[in-house]
Structure 1
Amino acid sequence: MRRRLIVLRPEPGNAATCAAIRAGGVEAVALPLFEVRPVPWEAPDPAGFDALVLTSANAVRHAGPQLVRYGGLPVVTVGAATARAAEAAGLAVAAMGEGDAADLPPMLASIGAERPLHLTGRDHRGLGLGETVVVYASEPDDPAPGALAVLEGSTALIHSARAGARLATLASAAGLGRATIAVAAISPAALRAAGEGWRAATAAPVPRDDALIAAALSIDRPDGGRDKVP
């Protein structure tokens, strides 16, 4: 039996993931555990940089009007969604990686960039590259009373290590049985953050939304991925 998939990521990504799942004929339920909000920031002088690094479309959405100051810099992104958001904002994408932040050094080298500016979220992974400025934050968003019950008998999609850890905490606080819930994570790190004891657990082979959905659907196939960690 194919179980419904529960999407935990914040909006607007939640709606996009749910739409992709439903397009494949599978039930999807939105249960965001975080809300993304802009934070005040001061835009450094663009003359001090030779590239703009974006690792999330949220940086584009929440940077505000100051983002236009960097319209003359070549942009290096991680993920197609981030690249699309940057182009829609009028930025020039010079290089795009499909994996994660580990792809950035060779991409920056490919365009000769040595002084990048990274616009990112408050809970970010340090890249050790250029200057980093926080422009948004993902704040915990408490589900409505009883909303977590939908997790039982379902498969939860975990898009980050923070989401994995929060799912584990909320499930325990609500008295939900982990043995009734399957989890699929966008990376091994996100899966580890969720802890153990789930009905089934798997991680996507690459950190992309389509790969995560495929991993979640694989759990209930006869050859599905129980307790797989790439």
Structure 2
Amino acid sequence: MDPLPLVVIRPEPGNAATCAVARALGLEPIAAPLFEIEPVDWDVPDERFDAILAGSANVFRHGGVGLAAFADVSVIAVGETTAAAARSAGFAVARVGEGGLQPVVATLPPGNYIRIAGEDRVTLTPPEGVRIVTVVTYASRKRAVSAALQTSLNRGAVVLLHSGEAASHFAQECERLGISKESLHLACLAPRIAELAGNGWGTVAVAAGRTDKEVLELGARMCQTV
């Protein structure tokens, strides 16, 4: 039996990066971004912060000139991709987390932090003594599933899911178009993403780690085995 195709729906520039690695693994991915990231207007808070909490590389890609106000504030990044984007933008990275921002926040010392985020984000619960000010600097604009992608999905595929928003939107699009979930298999970056995708899929699996490399390797295995 021929391997299933691998569908990548994350927005650019991550989509192209994931597809390039997939090709290096011998796969022929279908690049189908279902989101477009856009900057939004935001006001810089007039106060000092102990650190920046960054849950996405998009913070530094789309934060704009307002980020200059925090040039001397170190970054606590959700993962290595976000940390790399912070360093490229000229920020010092104090800490790199793994498995989401909440585990990082739970261990923060008392202080005043700024969370620079997108419109769609996970709610954080800080411990006592930790104050978090949130500013939104970008938004994900949803795209509909194209006719070409619908045809591919109807034949069966493995779909990479990098975010909870992607999981919810993809599930809604499949329901809207009447695409059979049973023929689709989801490779998810984190357990929360799998939960938000809902039920009825052929297979739902979660990567062992929270990196693009690990979820891609999971997807590659699923293409051969499901």
Shift of 1:221: 4.6
User: Are the aligned partners of 1:75 and 1:92 in contact in 2 as well (CA < 8 Å)?
Assistant: yes
Alignment of 1:173-188 (within 5 A): 173-188=176-191
Q: Deviations over 1:126-176 (max 9, x none)?
A: 224411111111111123334322223210111112211221221122222
Following superposition of structure 1 onto structure 2, how do residues 85-164 of structure 1 map, counting pairs within 5 Å? Answer: 85-105=85-105, 108-109=108-109, 114-127=111-124, 128=126, 129-151=131-153, 152-164=155-167
CA offset digits 1:17-42 (Å, max 9, x no partner): 11111111111111111111111100
Listed one character per residue, the Cα deviations across residues 57-109 of structure 1 (whole Å, up to 9, x for unaligned) are: 00111110110111111111111111111111111111111321133236643
What TM-score results when the alignment is normalised by the length of structure 2? 0.89
CA distance, structure 1, for counterparts of residue 223 and residue 121 of structure 2? 33
Please report the RMSD computed on the Cα atoms of aligned residues, expressed in angstroms. Answer: 1.8
Report the CA distance between 1:218 and its aligned residue: 2.6
Q: 1:182 Cα deviation (Å)?
A: 1.4
Q: Distance in 1 between matches of 2:107 and 2:66?
A: 25
Counterpart position of 2:175: 172
TM-score by length of 1: 0.88
CA–CA distance in structure 2, aligned partners of residues 54 and 187 of structure 1: 17
Identical aligned pairs, as a percentage?
A: 36
Q: Give the secondary-structure state (helix, strand or coil) at the position aligned to 1:148.
A: helix
Whether the aligned pair in 2 keeps the contact of 1:76 and 1:107 (CA below 8 Å) is no
Mapped to 2, the partners of 1:104 and 1:48 lie a distance apart of 20
Partner in structure 2 of residue 203 of structure 1: 206
Counterpart residue type for residue 175 of structure 1: G
Cα distance in structure 2, aligned partners of 1:144 and 1:107: 43
Q: Distance in 1 between matches of 2:39 and 2:104?
A: 24
Check 1:69–1:204 CA distance in 2 against 1; reply closer, same or farther (3 A cut).
same
Which residue of 2 is the match for residue 15 of structure 1? 16
Q: Which runs of 5+ in 1 are unaligned?
A: none
C-alpha separation in 1, matches of 2:152 and 2:104: 38
